[in-house]
Amino acid sequence: MTPGDGKVGILGLGAYVPERVMTNADWGRLVDTTDEWIVARTGIEKRHFAAEDESTADLAVAAARAALADAGLDARDLDEIIVATDTPEVFSPDTAAFVQHLLGARQVPSYDLAGSGCAGFVQALDVACSRVLAGRPDTVLVIGAEVITRLMDWTDRATCVLFGDAAGAAVLGRGAASGEIVAVETGTDGSRTGILGLPIGGTRHPFSLDVARRGLHKQIVMNGREVFKEAVTRMSEASRKVLAKAGRELAEVALVVPHQANLRIISAVAKALETPMDKVFVNVREYGNTGSASVPLALTQARDQGRVKDGDLVLLTSFGAGFHWAAALIQF
């Protein structure tokens, strides 16, 4: 998306977080870790887990309803639905099909943006903007939803303590509305697919009984050192590029809302952007890494807490498996 081609605005925001809380102390009773170890390395203190009877579509629908209510719209006002998730309702069909039905929306185009990891929601914003600007749908619902805790290895102390479940949503439409999406910048480096992901279950490494017995289908691959370097580089570069695309300066940004992977990455991105931490929204302490739900959850909370005011320029920046990255600039 580039500026000058018309306006696409955020009509409403919403989020949903499950009730169940998993603290660092809780994890310490299951794996060899401590609250001190987790906080020192990630900044995470607790995270939320979906209930046994909650699925990805359930979380997505709850966030969507909140966003629709915020926009003053009904589900039948929607012209398109995009769901960004790496933890789908089922292997096929896509999660968006379930969401469309559960919301009571019309039989509008509904589809998933999957595999982008934590960059999924901002990438989906780009797709939604291009669709609206092309004159196809007028009102698009974009959701980031994850139930990561259902698919991860609970015995791997290096990764299990990082993640939580949540969903966030935005309703997009024509005009500036409450917040104009000024520009979006996205990118992918497929040569880095091996540093972050969940490789088992596709055609390259199919699921099998042996895989299940060995628990390989829940083993998240994460090369921490390489992911850190890529995340900081890509998030800061994308941020500068989206500002340049919009003809704006970093000094004009009132608030940076980054993907909440861990506090070290967030702090490093702030440093790379020469931005003080008091201009960066952080909720990773309470929710951990919620994947594609991370950015919309943080943006919704930032607005609800009064951190986003009329006239503010807000920068979203994210990264994910792929290696994907995305940044967006919103003028409230």
* Predicted confidence (pLDDT) per residue in 15-72, tens digit: 999 999 999 999 999 999 999 999 999 999 999 999 999 999 999 999 999 999 999 9
223 is catalytic: no
259 is catalytic: yes
What type of residue is 280?
A: V
118 is catalytic: yes
What average pLDDT does this structure show over 118-130? Answer: 96
> What pLDDT is recorded for position 195?
77
pTM of the predicted protein model: 0.94
What average pLDDT does this structure show over 162-188? Answer: 93
Catalytic residue chosen out of the listed positions 48, 160, 259, 283: 259
Query: Cβ(170)–Cβ(178) under 8 Å?
Result: no
Alpha helices in the chain (DSSP H): 24-28, 35-42, 56-71, 95-103, 120-133, 209-214, 224-246, 263-272, 284-287, 294-304
Do 8-177 and 183-331 have matching folds?
yes
Q: What is the DSSP letter of 115?
A: S
> What pLDDT is recorded for position 3?
42
Q: What is the DSSP letter of 91?
A: S
- 183-331: CATH topology: Peroxisomal Thiolase; Chain A, domain 1 (3.40.47)
Catalytic residue chosen out of the listed positions 118, 129, 160, 324: 118
Domain 8-177 annotated CATH 3.40.50.280: no
Backbone angles phi, psi at 53, to 5 degrees: -95, 10
The helix/strand/coil state of 81 is strand
* Closest among 277, 278, 192, 282 to 229, alpha carbons compared: 192
Residue ranges per domain, the chain? 8-177, 183-331
Task: Name the packing angle between helices 263-272 and 35-42 (round to 10°).
Answer: 20
